[in-house]
Amino acid sequence: MSRKHIDLKIKSATDLIKRVLANHENPVVACSFGKNSMVVLHMVRQFNPEVCVLFNNTLMEYPDTYKFKKIISRKWNLNLIETRPLKTFWWVVENYGFPLFSRKGHKDASKNCCRYLKEYPIKKVLRQHKFDLYFTGLSRHESRLREFSAKKYGNYFYSRTFKHWKCHPIQDWTKEDIWAYHEIYNIPYNSLYDKKAPDGFDLRTGCWCCTIPIKYGKIEFLRKNYPHLWKLLLKKGLGSLILEKKVGVSLPDGQIDDLIQNRPCFFDKY
């Protein structure tokens, strides 16, 4: 990637930020303390160093994220606001099932999970603080849904769902662009990205407990990098569920210990 290429992208993103900031009085930057959010936060702070920063704390973020949040909040003196989930992840599992494995009678556990842990708490905080502009670090390359949304709405639009304006300044950036920006400005990053991930597993900040990406190696990633969280997830019912789905055998949660100890690990692949 040439320096000219990234300089053009930076100029386009910062021009947009400058332009939209002029239209609003109460902006906020959504920050997951991942690589994308750090870029947008760094850019917006060049124009508004006091800008509010919103961390959607699901209480299920990776330990590295909590550690990094603490360091950056202090170092950058952030004006930080945190959400709290309306219901816990384990409450959602109990009532609707795991994301990807909805309980009988419930259509979409993941939708309810995201509602209680993210959507409702974010809406509540946005209403309380009357923010009128919401910056995010979303990139169209991260999922098909984001690609679709990018095509439909562009990078600056009014969200009827959230009732405020949204701006995605790095919507067209690739992973390489993001890391290039980090390098140019020497932006600190979350140590989560130093963890080794299985091939095909897209390492992202967010809920460590999310079971949606398990077919891409999430369980193996947790086992190798966060064994205590891995064990907790399997023992809280995910182990029995995977066993049932893969081989049609049911075992009570307490009785999968032997299977958990076996190598190669039965749960790595789904």
**Which parts of this chain interact with ligand SF4 (CB under 6 A)?**
58, 99, 110, 113-114, 117-118, 206-207, 209-210, 212
Burial (CB < 10 A; 0-12, 13-18, 19+), residue 3, is: exposed
Task: Quote the tokens at residue 39.
Answer: 């870029």
Q: Given the complex with ligand SF4, which of 27 and 99 has the nearer CB atom?
A: 99
Task: Quote the tokens at residue 236.
Answer: 């809280």
- Close Cβ partners of 129 (under 8 Å, ≥ 6 residues apart): 26, 28, 52, 81
DSSP string, 3-70: HHHHHHHHHHHHHHHHHHHTT-SSEEEE--SSHHHHHHHHHHHHH-TT-EEEE---S-B-HHHHHHHH
Q: Given the complex with ligand SF4, which of 143 and 250 has the nearer CB atom?
A: 143
Q: Given the complex with ligand SF4, which of 43 and 109 has the nearer CB atom?
A: 109
- Length of the chain equals 270
Q: Give me the amino acid identity at 148.
A: F
Q: Given the complex with ligand SF4, which of 97 and 169 has the nearer CB atom?
A: 97
Q: How far is the CB of 98 from ligand SF4 (least distance, A)?
A: 9
Q: How far is the CB of 132 from ligand SF4 (least distance, A)?
A: 25
Q: How far is the CB of 240 from ligand SF4 (least distance, A)?
A: 19
Please give the angle made by the CA atoms of 166, 22 and 79, to the nearest 5 degrees: 65
Q: How far is the CB of 152 from ligand SF4 (least distance, A)?
A: 21
Q: How far is the CB of 111 from ligand SF4 (least distance, A)?
A: 8
Q: Given the complex with ligand SF4, which of 117 and 197 has the nearer CB atom?
A: 117
Q: How far is the CB of 210 from ligand SF4 (least distance, A)?
A: 3
How far apart, in whole angstroms, are the C-alpha atoms of residue 247 and residue 233?
A: 19
Q: Given the complex with ligand SF4, which of 180 and 241 has the nearer CB atom?
A: 241
Q: How far is the CB of 24 from ligand SF4 (least distance, A)?
A: 28
Neighbouring C-beta atoms of residue 198, cutoff 10 Å: 16
> Are 28 and 159 spatial neighbours (Cβ–Cβ below 8 Å)?
no
Task: Quote the tokens at residue 263.
Answer: 């190598």
Q: Given the complex with ligand SF4, which of 73 and 102 has the nearer CB atom?
A: 102
